Structure 1
């Protein structure tokens, strides 16, 4: 960000996001993907917040002090519930992508504020353990949460390539199950290694064209591509 300060700026609040947008700059919100970096320490969590981190996945692909990852039995630990409470007190957004099914339901029951699944897709369309079930999608929608569709081929279907047709199918399903306000883009470009029809963020216009071709309305496209995420941060950040 320091090397590209004419293009991008760090933000810690929605007000700073608004200022960046008015200045025509990219608002960069620091997030951490793996709650285990805190080693179960609430003081370390508070240090991350002071350094500007505003969103944290509770787990990644391995068990940690806070809970279990996708595909493993068990939910949040006692420390995981304490982290959830402290994150909400601080104003840091919990992220349930990578969390076990039991853990997702633990967060649904215990959270007092909306949270995110930043990069997850639909298990009803492709039965991968990293995807969310329809029941989860409905539960997150009921709580005012946000789900970012993951672009990884292994979560979208059996083809081995991340296809625009599969992306639009998952987006449509999320809208049908949880409503339009639930859905955003959670590409995971920096974390996936598969062939992609949409190679990087510089080609998002191709996704818009695919959504238009699949019958999405201008309102739906605007909501999914940016407005839902913007409004979510307006409410919770």
Structure 2
């Protein structure tokens, strides 16, 4: 069983309106692939590409509408909004879908928009993509500032509503601003270990320790250049990141957030959710069964169950 903390299928569907969620070859994340990989819950991120004609809150609402019409409308999928839904999910045969937002640009500082999205099913937000916005600097912003006054207001409102905070993509200063004010566990949905692969989107050691300390999750991503600088990238290259986080004490915090549909190159043998069994088989050869189960789904399940 698998829980995956991040994918960009909504964005790809938004840009390819004729693509079929059931089995389109345009998509990494399809119903067929989720079923083939025994994915029990998939987090679906709303991300508005910069080259879209529409922007702002209207573009977010279009994405929510598409998510409802193209993904949730499938009878094999159920939305995950609360603990009761998690219980139903685990006792049934459906695949869960949890809606997240990657970058709050389109909220335009309006907390009313945030509350509306929560009522529409949003349960987690990443404050930025790589660039700066009204709430915070992203990791790609050279000045490297933290949360703005409105960004801090946003974090407080999210905690009041029960919306999880995702620190993947934010600047280091913004990460520590979140850490200094958060009263609930935050998480990194799709980030790896900087000491293993020096990509700016990966987490520094102190950040890893902080996420572990607060009881959050670290979702290792399958984007090849976040995993290794040596090509081709193989599944076994992920093991260095796993070992590092475990050595930091994060055995119960380690998860996976693939970023399928958000990349244009893939790890060999891990190119869509239907190939999760390849990862599972390699993990089974190197680690004990209870740890593998934690990383594949139990850690995500516990975190989500206790915090949404």
Q: Normalising to structure 1: TM-score of the pair?
A: 0.96
Shift of 1:208: 1.2
Shift of 1:129: 0.6
For 1:158 and 1:2, locate their aligned partners in 2 and report how far apart those are by CA, in whole Å: 37
Please, which of 226, 231, 246 is the counterpart of residue 175 of structure 1? 246
Displacement over 4 Å in runs of 4+: none
Corresponding residue number in structure 2 for 1:228: 299
Asked if the contact 2:191–2:219 (Cα under 8 Å) also holds between the matched residues in 1, the reply is yes
The unaligned stretches of length 5 or more in structure 1 are: none
Asked if the contact 1:161–1:194 (Cα under 8 Å) also holds between the matched residues in 2, the reply is no
Shift of 1:165: 1.2
For 1:177 and 1:171, locate their aligned partners in 2 and report how far apart those are by CA, in whole Å: 10
- Pairing of 1:44-63 with structure 2 (within 5 A): 44-63=113-132
Give secondary structure in 1 for the equivalent of 2:252. helix
For 1:167 and 1:57, locate their aligned partners in 2 and report how far apart those are by CA, in whole Å: 23
For 1:76 and 1:160, locate their aligned partners in 2 and report how far apart those are by CA, in whole Å: 36
Please, which of 96, 101, 104 is the counterpart of residue 32 of structure 1? 101
- What CA deviation, in whole Å up to 9, does each residue of 1:74-131 have, x standing for no partner? 0111111000000000000011100001111111111000011000000010111100
Corresponding residue number in structure 2 for 1:209: 281
Give secondary structure in 1 for the equivalent of 2:97. strand
- The alignment status of 1:218 with 2:218, answered yes or no, reads no
Corresponding residue number in structure 1 for 2:271: 199
Shift of 1:2: 4.2
Change (3 A) 1:50 1:162: farther
For 1:127 and 1:18, locate their aligned partners in 2 and report how far apart those are by CA, in whole Å: 39
Q: Normalising to structure 2: TM-score of the pair?
A: 0.74
Shift of 1:162: 3.8
The unaligned stretches of length 5 or more in structure 2 are: 1-70
Shift of 1:199: 1.1
- Pairing of 1:102-181 with structure 2 (within 5 A): 102-181=173-252
- The alignment status of 1:13 with 2:82, answered yes or no, reads yes
For 1:166 and 1:119, locate their aligned partners in 2 and report how far apart those are by CA, in whole Å: 16
Shift of 1:46: 0.7
Give secondary structure in 2 for the equivalent of 1:141. helix
Corresponding residue number in structure 2 for 1:75: 146
For 2:273 and 2:153, locate their aligned partners in 1 and report how far apart those are by CA, in whole Å: 36
Shift of 1:40: 1.1
Asked if the contact 2:72–2:79 (Cα under 8 Å) also holds between the matched residues in 1, the reply is no
Give secondary structure in 2 for the equivalent of 1:49. helix
Asked if the contact 2:102–2:125 (Cα under 8 Å) also holds between the matched residues in 1, the reply is yes
For 1:220 and 1:98, locate their aligned partners in 2 and report how far apart those are by CA, in whole Å: 27
- What CA deviation, in whole Å up to 9, does each residue of 1:149-178 have, x standing for no partner? 011111111124442011122122111114
For 1:219 and 1:147, locate their aligned partners in 2 and report how far apart those are by CA, in whole Å: 18
For 1:224 and 1:216, locate their aligned partners in 2 and report how far apart those are by CA, in whole Å: 11
